């Protein structure tokens, strides 16, 4: 599997994505600068986390108009898989690849912790290595992760299997902070209609190393390699 990671001024998780993809595939991904206008021929495009343009206007809004995003959108239209993580979720949503918007966290504070999630749909290469309903733990680190869309769109996302992950409390239900940011319907990540694009706020690329105490993100990258190689 060949992958490219788009880097913006303010990206800070691109190296984590490189490590996760290289460990899963044995192949180092391309790093593509946001001002480039072409992408190499790849099977997967990753838009990583960080603070593109310092989040000065609205998270992801400026990056969504970077030159490379025209090519990302064109490749997505051709069926190339696109993974947007955290700020990457904000960017691809602002670019129109996914519905809705990411707003300030409900508590108006930056949140950084390990979060429990429930896998809602496994009919995609991003989630095929998980079991439906499986509880996983991914780190989160965001101030603008409050996913919002209208009620009709939420109903459509649910009905068409486009909700990928939801925030939940831990398995014992001892942690009341199931939804960390106020996202509508506890949504943590969504697919496009064809399930070829995934955007999520939590960081699977930071849950792939046993020495870090958590490997719940490895199946995502292993599944992508298995499906796209």
The question of whether 86 is a catalytic residue gets the answer yes
Residues 6+ apart with CB under 8 A from 211: none
Distance CA 197, CA 192 (A): 5
The question of whether 205 is a catalytic residue gets the answer yes
> Would you state the structure tokens that stand for residue 94, as one six-digit string?
């602002």
Q: What is the dihedral of CA 68, 69, 75, 77, to 10 degrees?
A: -160
Outline where DSSP puts E strands in 60-131.
Answer: 81-85, 101-103, 111-119
- Give residue 127's region: left, alpha or beta (phi > 0; psi -120 to 50): alpha
The question of whether 203 is a catalytic residue gets the answer yes
Are 146 and 93 within 8 A, CB to CB? no
> Which one is catalytic: 34, 86, 120, 142?
86
Are 12 and 46 within 8 A, CB to CB? no
> Which positions are catalytic?
86, 203, 205
């Amino acid at each position: 599997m060949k992958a490219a990671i788009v880097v913006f001024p303010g990206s800070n998780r691109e190296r984590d994505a490189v490590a996760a993809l290289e460990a899963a595939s044995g192949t180092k991904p391309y790093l593509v600068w946001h001002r480039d206008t072409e992408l190499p021929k790849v099977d997967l495009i990753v838009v990583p986390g960080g603070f593109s343009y310092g989040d000065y206007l609205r998270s992801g809004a400026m990056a969504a108009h970077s030159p490379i995003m025209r090519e990302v959108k064109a490749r997505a239209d051709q069926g190339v898989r696109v993974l947007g993580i955290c700020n990457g979720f904000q960017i691809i949503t602002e670019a129109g690849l996914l519905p809705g918007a990411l707003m300030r966290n409900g508590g108006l504070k930056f949140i950084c912790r390990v979060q429990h999630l429930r896998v809602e749909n496994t009919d995609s290469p991003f989630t095929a290595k998980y079991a439906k309903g499986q509880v996983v733990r991914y780190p989160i680190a965001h101030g603008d992760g409050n996913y919002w869309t209208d009620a009709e769109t939420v109903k459509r996302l649910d009905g068409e299997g486009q909700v990928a992950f939801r925030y939940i409390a831990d398995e014992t239900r001892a942690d009341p902070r199931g939804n960390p940011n106020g996202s509508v319907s506890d949504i943590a990540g969504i697919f496009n209609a064809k399930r070829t694009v995934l955007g999520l706020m939590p960081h699977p690329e930071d849950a792939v190393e046993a020495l870090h105490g958590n490997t719940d993100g490895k199946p995502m990258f292993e599944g992508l390699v298995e499906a796209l190689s």
